[in-house]
Amino acid sequence: MTDVERSIEGVAKTVAGVLTNQKYAIDYYQREYKWESKQMAELTADLTTKFLDLYDPNHARKDVANYAGYYLGSIIISQKGSEPYIVDGQQRLTSLTLLLTFLRRLQENRHDKVDVDPLIFSEKYGDKSFNLDIPDRVDCMMALFEDGTYEPKPDDPESVTTLVTRYDELDDLFPDELREDALPYFIDWLKDRVQLVQITAYADDDAYAIFETMNDRGLKLTPADMLKGYLLANTEDGSPRTKANNMWRKRLRQLDDKAEEASSDFLKTWLRSQYSTKIRERRRDSRPQDWDRIGTEFHRWLRNDHERVGLTSRQDYYDFIAVDLDFYSRQYERILDAARGTFGPASPLRYIRYNADHRFTLQDQLLLAPLRVGDDVATIDRKLELVGRFVDILIAWRVWNFRATGYSTMQYAMFTVMRDIRGLDVGPLATALRDYLLKTDENFDSNDDLAVHQQNRNQLHKVLARITDYTTVSSGHVPNYLELTNGTKVKYEVEHVWANRPERHTDEFDHEADFRRHRNRIGDLLLLPKQFNASYGDDPYHEKRPRYFSQNLLAASLDPQAYEKNPGFLSFVTSTGLPFKPYAEFKASDVIERGNLYRAIAKRIWNPDDLLAIAEGD
């Protein structure tokens, strides 16, 4: 092999330089797209916040060329003949492609739109293909490119579902103030001022050696590294600095072992939860405040605001790592574990999992906010439960009222809550959270027409899982929330009691549209195994009803057998007074009645008064 073939090139490129009319392949073992909601939210927030810090409505488009750039990290390419393979960076490039696809559709019918098509797909010898050349994504990416929507097929890989979910979230993540006059400016800046370092090797061995060196040996200088350097430089030399350095490395390494970029996420979450006092107002000419700056450049923010944080002596800097970082990182680690773990029906941390399943990433800063160094374990758990329950109730109410729960929609309100509950004791914390809920305009009584549609199906899946699990546990049976939310091998889906056969209901509906609207109401919905619906979904109700008895208790309660020799369930119904009843047939009025049952159960699950009971130790 010649020296030329073994050469390695590194060059800074703009997003346009990396993506325009390019075609990248990915080895089969790297094809999964795994970014979660938090990572897409952080990418979008980092880019839009940095741009808004530079943008002035009085600027001309050409002024964007003088805007400060933004560095998005490095990508590693292995050049195999004429085709470049991505060794490291496909998650970022895929996410950038989704963002560009979203921006393309956001520009439709504008006279000043920026052509981003060459950044999304390329044409070679008359053959069009997407810049990330992955065959099993083509149908999905083409649908998103053309129509902005895609319904994953049963045999699609998990990456396709993740792609669709991340794309759908962008509409909520992208700020309103960039959708009008500022939009072409932002796209220009994204294309031509946001940069990546592209490292190209001409042999796989070289490419993977670079990857291992950069990741295993920590040669990338991250904002966390720069913050660490600043803090240690101001810590007393000798044993204190060594101890602080060891503590930093140990705690952040343990977080990164839990999840990708967890240490960076922790630092942002911790600093925001304890120190941010302002957030950028949602108007065109507003500037980023400390909450926003911590999200994009926390190392610079802390250097500038160290006195306000309380860092005035070498001992302060040492304690900041050895005491504060140690304490809050341990609690953040517990939050990460709770968001992904299993739990008992009495675990105070179970609400963290419920909220994480709704992809509500803003809960982390709320959870840390009331915690104080020196809180004992019981106090910490009670505070975490109170905040978790509060978020759980708020999400349930918003879902019930067709309200968005995404990052962009909720960040301002959740910042306000975070700031107001910072450092509170258990009693005042419970009161503050309950008061906030009681002042909201929407709850379970403000909407009596909850129905499933394409955008809220996943959220209603979680709501139905909680209602079903509550019925199950309260009747003395084993919890089944994780099973119902596809935490086991059985795949559950939101299914209708009524088959999609409007001709069976002409006695109650003159128009097919009225039938379909009524069929989608929550009272006609159950969670059932996918295979069950495949076998019986088209059957008339009277034929399906006896088979429901073999399913979860909420489904079984439609059948008279559930009310025979079932002491746990009957005791639950009697003690709560919930209006359970069997249905020999299931008419339009029964759908309404059944929906009222679900509402009554929901009020028991998501009750603001429970916050005061928790604070009192009940």
Measured distance CA(81)–CA(318) in Å, rounded: 53
Q: Are residues 228 and 347 in the same domain?
A: yes
Measured distance CA(36)–CA(449) in Å, rounded: 31
Q: Are residues 385 and 482 in the same domain?
A: no
Q: Are residues 171 and 297 in the same domain?
A: no
Measured distance CA(575)–CA(577) in Å, rounded: 6
pLDDT of residue 4: 41
Q: What are phi and psi of 123, to 5 degrees?
A: -125, 130
Instruction: Specify the range with the lowest mean pLDDT, choosing from 25-34, 348-357, 479-488, 514-523.
Output: 25-34
Structural domain contains residue 450: no
pLDDT of residue 288: 86
* Degrees, nearest 5: CA angle 58-191-215: 125
Instruction: Specify the range with the lowest mean pLDDT, choosing from 2-11, 156-165, 301-310, 402-411.
Output: 2-11
Structural domain contains residue 354: yes
* pTM strictly above 0.85: no
The answer, yes or no, to whether residue 5 has pLDDT greater than 60, is: no
Query: pLDDT confidence of 155, banded at 50, 70, 90?
Result: confident
Structural domain contains residue 613: no
Query: pLDDT confidence of 126, banded at 50, 70, 90?
Result: low
74: enclosing H helix or E strand: strand 70-80
Q: Are residues 238 and 190 in the same domain?
A: no
Q: Are residues 464 and 593 in the same domain?
A: yes
Percent of the chain whose pLDDT exceeds 90: 64
Q: Are residues 475 and 417 in the same domain?
A: no
Structural domain contains residue 36: yes
Q: Are residues 497 and 565 in the same domain?
A: yes
Average pLDDT for residues 476-500, to the nearest whole number? 91
pLDDT of residue 207: 57
Q: Are residues 263 and 364 in the same domain?
A: yes
Q: Are residues 240 and 389 in the same domain?
A: yes
Query: pLDDT confidence of 3, banded at 50, 70, 90?
Result: very low
Report pLDDT digits (tens) over 74-111.
888 877 767 788 877 788 889 999 999 999 999 988 99
Structural domain contains residue 302: yes
The answer, yes or no, to whether residue 145 has pLDDT greater than 50, is: yes
Average pLDDT for residues 158-182, to the nearest whole number? 89
Structural domain contains residue 313: yes
Of 216, 232, 260, the residue at which a domain comes to its end is 216
* Comparison of pLDDT for 370 and 173, the residue scoring more: 370
Structural domain contains residue 447: no
User: Which domain, by its residues, includes 48?
Assistant: 8-216
Q: What sections of 341-456 are H helices per DSSP?
A: 350-357, 363-368, 377-400, 407-421, 426-439
Structural domain contains residue 575: yes
Of 216, 251, 279, the residue at which a domain comes to its end is 216
* Comparison of pLDDT for 407 and 445, the residue scoring more: 445
| Secondary structure string (H, E, C) spanning 438-481 | HHCCCCCCCCCCCECCCCCHHHHHHHHHHHHHHHHHHCCCCCCH
pLDDT of residue 341: 86
Q: Are residues 288 and 391 in the same domain?
A: yes
Q: Are residues 433 and 463 in the same domain?
A: no
The answer, yes or no, to whether residue 431 has pLDDT greater than 60, is: yes
The answer, yes or no, to whether residue 211 has pLDDT greater than 60, is: no
Of 439, 470, 497, the residue at which a domain comes to its end is 439
Query: pLDDT confidence of 223, banded at 50, 70, 90?
Result: confident
CB atoms within 10 A of CB 543: 11
* Comparison of pLDDT for 4 and 106, the residue scoring more: 106
Q: β-strand 194-201 against 8-14: which pairing, if any?
A: antiparallel
Q: Are residues 263 and 201 in the same domain?
A: no
> Based on the structure, what is the number of domains in the chain?
3
Average pLDDT, the chain: 89
